[in-house]
């Protein structure tokens, strides 16, 4: 989204609840400061003063990439223990690797899913036997990944045990 006053990306989204309808404003950092200074001069509300203080202390003000990019890099490095997909891979591909990813990346996916579907929980019907099949398929994915790791590490005893477990689950 672009700033209302220029073509820079809007970094601050302000919703004012004065009057009958809420007013939404989208500003870049510079215009947000101007707007908040105007607002604080026109009225003595604590909320606009708090926003001005938050804007002055924001990491964008001091160094635009330091804190924000460090947080994003930490999120991108998060990896699913079952299928091995990272959140960075998901963002680039747009597809998750397995059903466990919804649990692994729940904090990051919930706002996205809510925005797309309007809710974050399934409320429709589903067969009861599907739950058992999903658990078994997730175990199989993890076991196959563990088998590959054991083979790569040349731990053949562990690999044979994992192979036997896979055969049990497949039957």
71 shares its domain with 111? yes
Distance CA(45)–CA(62), nearest Å, equals: 25
Range of the domain at 140: 129-170
In the block, tokens 């804007």 appear at 55
pLDDT per residue as tens digits for the range 67-110: 667 777 788 888 888 888 888 888 888 888 888 888 888 888 88
Residue 107 lies in a domain: yes
Count of domains observed in the chain: 3
Angstrom CA distances, 164 to 60, 140, 167, 169, stand at 54, 11, 5, 9
Measured between alpha carbons, how far is residue 36 from residues 20, 42, 47 in Å? 21, 10, 10
Give pLDDT tens digits for 13-44.
Answer: 787 777 677 788 888 888 888 887 776 566 54
Share of the chain above pLDDT 90, in %: 12
58 and 71 in a common domain: no
pLDDT of residue 104: 86
**Per the confidence metrics, is the pTM higher than 0.95?**
no
């Amino acid at each position: 989204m672009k700033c209302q006053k220029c073509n820079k990306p809007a970094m601050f989204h302000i919703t004012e609840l004065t009057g009958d309808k809420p007013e939404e404003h989208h500003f870049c950092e510079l215009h947000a400061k101007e707007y908040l200074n105007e607002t604080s001069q026109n009225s003595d509300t604590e909320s606009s003063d708090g926003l001005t203080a938050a804007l002055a202390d924001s990491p964008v003000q001091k160094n635009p990439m330091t804190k924000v990019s460090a947080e994003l890099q930490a999120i991108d490095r998060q990896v699913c223990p079952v299928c091995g997909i990272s959140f960075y891979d998901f963002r680039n591909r747009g597809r998750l690797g397995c059903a466990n990813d919804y649990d692994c990346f729940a904090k990051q996916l919930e706002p996205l899913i809510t925005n797309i579907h309007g809710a974050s929980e399934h409320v429709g019907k589903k067969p009861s036997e599907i739950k058992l099949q999903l658990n078994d398929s997730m175990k199989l994915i993890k076991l196959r990944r563990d088998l590959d790791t054991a083979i790569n590490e040349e731990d053949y005893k562990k690999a044979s045990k994992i192979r036997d477990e896979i055969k049990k689950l497949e039957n």
